[in-house]
Structures are given as C-alpha cells and as structure tokens.
Structure 1
Amino acid sequence: MPSMYDRIREDLINKEQALWTALTSADPAPAIKKLCNPEGNLMFPQMPEILTLEDESHFNEALRPPFHRFDGYQLDEVRVIIIDLMAGAVTYKVRAVRGKKEYRATCSTTWGQGSDGEWTLFSHSETLQ
C-alpha cells in the first residue's frame, strides 16, 4: 500500500498534468478556473499582470485562444515538495511544441487541499528558459 506521501506526490503530479492539458487546450480558461482556488494567482512570461479570478472577464480575456496552444508538452525534472499533508509545490521544466515552434520554461505551482479533499491551485508561475 502506498504511503500518504506517495499518494500526495501522485495527486499533485496528476493535477500538474491536468493544468498543462488545460493550458495547451484550444480554450483554457474554463478548465483552469476549475483547478484554481478562489485566491489563486497565475504568472506567465511576457504578461505584465498577475491573473486572478477576481475579475472573471479579464481572466477569460487573458487566457483566450490561442493562449499557450501547443500540439504537445513534456514535463521534465519534476520535483514534488510536500509542505504538509494539505499543501505541496511542484517544480519542473516544461518543453512544449507547436509545429516547429518550441516553448521552454521553468515552472512552479503551489497546491492546497481543501476540507473536501480536492487539490486546488494557489500559485503558478513560468519563467522562460
């Protein structure tokens, strides 16, 4: 039987993959909203403002298609840091491609688990490599 920490690591890696599946989809905003805590922040390269759910129309506009639209992505050097049983961070490098265009970034996402057991995103940031 896997340990509690192994299950947390697996949950957080699955959530990170769900985030990137959403980020690289044709219309990312609805899926990303579902992953976010109401207090969540998202910071992307070359985007001057920090995205929050406070202004839903701005959030939707900032993530409008074709935001981060890629044909595929790969997470490398994934590291899960368990802060406690209800919080953790995932750090990694991402490589995403669209045709011949390549996107590389170093990323970090902090997740928290609510009383309902659901993990939600508190902070996500990407730094171009």
Structure 2
Amino acid sequence: MPSMHERIREDLLNKERALWTALTSADPAPAIFKLSNPEANFMFPRREILTFEDEEEFKRMVRPPFHRFDAYQFEQVRVIIVDLMAGVVTCKVRAVRGKKEYIASSSTTWSQGSDGEWTLAAHQETLL
C-alpha cells in the first residue's frame, strides 16, 4: 500500500495534468473553475493577475488563442508536500502549437478542503 505522501504526490500530479489539459484546451474556463478554489490567483506571463472576482473578465482573458497548444509535456517535475492538506507542484513546461514553442517554468499551489478535494489556490508561469 502506498504511503500517505505517495498518494498525495499522485493526487497533485493528476490535478496538475488536469489543469494543463484545461489550460491548453479550446475552452479552458469551465475546467479551470472546477479545479480551483474561489479565491484562486493566476499569474500568467505578460498579463495582470487574474482572479474569479470578475468571472466574465476571467473567461475573456483565457479564451482562445490563450495557451491553445497541440501538445505539452512536463520536465523537472517536483511535488513539494507542505503538509497533509497543502502542496506545490513545480515543473518546466514545453508546449507546441504548429511550429511555435512555449517554454515556461510553472508553479501551482494546491490545498485540500475538508471534503478531501484538492483545489488550486495559486498558479504562476514564467517564460524561459
């Protein structure tokens, strides 16, 4: 049986993959809302900090062609367990759309609610 920390690592990696699948999809907002805490913050390159304070503004900011990629992959992935209810996933992300490549470092902080569900608290990307 996997240890508690191994299960947390697996849960957080699955959530991170779900986030990036959403971020790179044609319509990311619904999936991002589902994955996130209502107080979540998003720091994307060359953009103001996004929150859910103005839901319509958030939807407008993440609609295509925002982060619309054909494929992405993680490199240098680290899962940092802060405690049994919080963790951070850091990685290098390589994504492509046609012949254009996007390379960034990424950090996502996840927290676990009393219902046991992991939700995104903060996400940041830095272009490399």
- Verify same fold: TM over 0.5: yes
Q: TM-score if structure 1 supplies the norm length?
A: 0.98
8 Å Cα contact 1:28-1:67 kept in structure 2:
no
Cα distance in 1 between the residues matched to 2:63 and 2:91: 25
Task: Give the SS at the match of 2:65.
Answer: coil
Secondary structure of the residue aligned to 1:102 is: strand
What CA distance in whole angstroms lies between the structure 2 residues aligned with 1:64 and 1:97?
A: 17
Matches within 5 A, 1:39-118: 39-47=39-47, 49-118=48-117
CA RMSD of aligned residues (A): 0.5
For structure 1, list consecutive stretches of 5 or more residues without a partner in the other structure.
Answer: none
Letter in 1 for 2:127: L
Structure 2: gaps of 5 or more residues: none
Contact 1:12 1:88 in 2 (8 A): yes
Structure 2 partner of 1:10: 10
Q: Distance in 1 between matches of 2:53 and 2:36?
A: 12
Tell me the CA shift for residue 65 of structure 1. 1.5
Q: Distance in 1 between matches of 2:34 and 2:58?
A: 13
Distance, in Å, in 1 between the alignment partners of 2:100 and 2:64 is 17
Q: Is the 8 A contact 1:12 1:80 kept in 2?
A: yes
SS at match of 2:111: strand
% identity of equivalent residues: 75
Q: 1:79·1:91 contact (CA, 8 Å) conserved in 2?
A: yes
Structure 1 runs (4+) deviating above 6 angstroms are none
SS in structure 1 opposite 2:12? helix
SS in structure 1 at match of 2:89: strand
Residue type matched to 2:28 in 1?
P
Q: What is the letter of the counterpart of residue 22 of structure 1? A: A
**Cα contact 1:27–1:66 (8 A) shared by 2:** no
Deviations 1:35-65 (A, max 9, x none): 1101100000011x11111110111110112
Q: What TM-score does the superposition give when structure 2 sets the normalisation length?
A: 0.99
Report how far residue 67 of structure 1 moved: 1.1
> Match for residue 31 of structure 2?
31
1:127 counterpart SS class: strand
